[in-house]
Amino acid sequence: MRRSRIGILTGGGDCAGINPAIKWIVKTALDERLGREKGIQYEVLGIRDGWRGLIYEKSVGPDVPRGYIVPLNEEIVRTWDRYGGTMLGTSRTNPYNPQNDQSKTVLANIEKFGLEALIVIGGDDTLQVACRLIQQGVNVVGIPKTIDKDLPETDYTLGFETALNVITEEIDRLRTTAGSHKRIFVVETMGRNTGWLALEGGESSGAFIILIPEYDFSTGKVNALVVEGRKAGARYDIIVVAEGAKPMGGLEFVREEGLDDFGHKTLGGIADFLAREISNGTGLETRSVVLSHLQRGGAPCAYDRRMGRYFGIAAVDLVVMKDFGKMVCYRNGKITACPLEKVIGKPNFVNVETRYDTERYNGRRTLLRHDGEQRF
Ligand code: F6P
């Protein structure tokens, strides 16, 4: 029997769907059938707090009483697929931060813990680190997760559907109060520089206007649409705006000064700005709501539980086949894999031509081409 060890790490912003993936990695890797059929026996170690756990692996503290590396088994993870966030914890630590390069420590610890493979559940930043480790000889397999759905090569990233459900539910709640008061609500969604959450959240909730970072908007046009809608009988309006959306000729709105370990700004504030513009431009009562981290919270929806399961199982398949350096993907209805290096630094933006109605500032109202094929 060949014995081997797998490490699991979750990095970047948390979201629903990560815990189901961890559960199914553990269950698949520890499945006795692997021993029977392939002659392999795995041990699985959970690495706490993302890459930070591989830097400070020995330290103990109130929240890491046993240190950052913890053995996982089926009993421990049995109920994890019901919970949001990540039971392993996460951080935005970048071991390759040029101001404080700790990558040697990470490499040394991977060696010290005898990790034959590292399964990394993350978005662009976390997977970027994974890619650099691959170049230094580490056997990595990636799992895509981010509510932003901004990774290329995959039609799905864990956490996205649960976040859409949150957006839809919150907007349902806003509708009753908006209707009672004849108000306009401007709802700000996350998503950094991509508009998937705003677009598909707005589509799911039937928003009147949807503004995305991929298409700069005119405040004059927003006001004109609102006034037109009122004339046509609308009692209230829901406008969804992505945190990274910009008015024409303007810049994105930033909530806090400074950059994180991966060089990102903290976006936010566009909803407030727009609510003021609408109120001043139309005289209609307008309020703003920032959904913020609520979109990352809550229990995973059924889809995220299922996709977490499939991605987790597929990641172990790659490890068993020693097909390292890949990220599991969901493409055209199939679970597949692609080289991790293809995923990095190429954000998956909304294609305005196929997905966005620039006249109505909303999702498209025609989906099929003349030959009956879908436009996207
Ligand atoms: O990438 C996920 C995300 O939720 C973005 O949509 C958002 O801009 C960012 O993370 C917020 O980061 P933090 O959790 O560090 O505030």
Ligand 1 center–CA 13 separation, angstroms: 6
The predicted-structure confidence for 125-159, as pLDDT tens digits, reads as follows: 999 999 999 999 999 999 999 999 999 999 999 99
| Superfamily covering domain 162-296+351-363 | Phosphofructokinase domain (3.40.50.460)
Secondary structure (3-state) at 46: strand
Q: Which residue's CA is minimally distant from atom 16 of ligand 1?
A: 266
The predicted-structure confidence for 52-98, as pLDDT tens digits, reads as follows: 999 997 766 666 667 899 999 999 999 999 999 999 999 999 999 99
Ligand 1 center–CA 128 separation, angstroms: 17
> 151-176 burial by CB neighbour count: b if 16+ within 10 A, else e?
bbbbebbbbbbbbbbbbbebbeebee
> 283-321 burial by CB neighbour count: b if 16+ within 10 A, else e?
ebebbbbbbeeebbebebbebbbebbbbbbbbbbebbbe
Among residues 214, 173, 209, which one has the least CA distance to residue 196? 214
User: What is the residue-averaged pLDDT of the chain?
Assistant: 95
The predicted-structure confidence for 155-188, as pLDDT tens digits, reads as follows: 999 999 999 999 999 999 999 999 999 999 999 9
User: Percent of the chain beyond pLDDT 70?
Assistant: 98
Split at pLDDT 50, 70, 90, the class of 11 is very high
146 lines ligand 1 (CB under 6 A): yes
90 lines ligand 1 (CB under 6 A): no
- The predicted model scores a pTM of 0.96
Q: Find the mean pLDDT for residues 333-362.
A: 97
Indicate the length of the chain as a whole number: 376
Among residues 198, 349, 191, which one has the least CA distance to residue 267? 191
Per-residue model confidence (pLDDT) at position 67: 83
192 lines ligand 1 (CB under 6 A): yes
CA gap 261, 165 in Å, rounded: 30
The one-letter code for the residue type at 125 is D
Cβ partners under 8 Å of residue 313, min gap 6: 24, 25, 28
Nearest-atom number in ligand 1 for the CA of 243 is: 8
How many angstroms from the chain centroid is the CA of residue 237? 28
Q: For residue 47, what is the enclosing H or E element?
A: strand 40-47
85 lines ligand 1 (CB under 6 A): no
Split at pLDDT 50, 70, 90, the class of 374 is confident
Cβ partners under 8 Å of residue 149, min gap 6: 156, 157, 160, 191, 194, 196, 197, 348
Ligand 1 center–CA 63 separation, angstroms: 23
The DSSP secondary-structure symbol of 158 reads B
Written as six digits, the tokens of 170 are 């919150």
Written as six digits, the tokens of 296 are 């990352």
190 lines ligand 1 (CB under 6 A): yes
Per-residue model confidence (pLDDT) at position 59: 66
Per-residue model confidence (pLDDT) at position 63: 63
Per-residue model confidence (pLDDT) at position 370: 74
Cβ–Cβ contacts within 10 Å for residue 103, how many? 18
Cβ–Cβ contacts within 10 Å for residue 32, how many? 8
Cβ partners under 8 Å of residue 11, min gap 6: 50, 51, 90, 91, 92, 93, 120, 121, 122, 125, 126, 129
- Spans of all domains in the chain: 2-158+300-342, 162-296+351-363
The predicted-structure confidence for 231-281, as pLDDT tens digits, reads as follows: 999 999 999 999 999 999 999 999 988 899 999 999 999 999 999 999 999
40 backbone dihedrals φ, ψ, rounded to 5°: -125, 140
Secondary structure (3-state) at 210: strand
From 147, 252, 270, 292, give the residue whose CB has the most ligand 1 atoms within 8 Å, as the site to mutate. 147
Half-sphere exposure of 201 (CA within 13 A, CB side): 36
For domain 2-158+300-342, give the fold. Answer: Rossmann fold (3.40.50)
CA gap 274, 291 in Å, rounded: 15
Burial class (CB in 10 A: 0-12, 13-18, 19+), 111: exposed
Q: Find the mean pLDDT for residues 3-12.
A: 97
User: Percent of the chain beyond pLDDT 90?
Assistant: 93
Ligand 1 center–CA 56 separation, angstroms: 24
Per-residue model confidence (pLDDT) at position 17: 98
Are 197 and 167 in contact, with CB atoms under 8 Å apart?
Answer: yes
Catalytic sites, residue numbers: 148
Cβ partners under 8 Å of residue 369, min gap 6: 375
CA gap 161, 119 in Å, rounded: 22
27 lines ligand 1 (CB under 6 A): no
Secondary structure (3-state) at 199: helix
How many angstroms from the chain centroid is the CA of residue 119? 17
Decide if 2-158+300-342 and 162-296+351-363 have a common fold. yes
Are 60 and 128 in contact, with CB atoms under 8 Å apart?
Answer: no
Q: Which residue's CA is minimally distant from atom 12 of ligand 1?
A: 13
CA gap 35, 41 in Å, rounded: 5
Ligand 1 center–CA 333 separation, angstroms: 27
Q: Find the mean pLDDT for residues 187-196.
A: 98
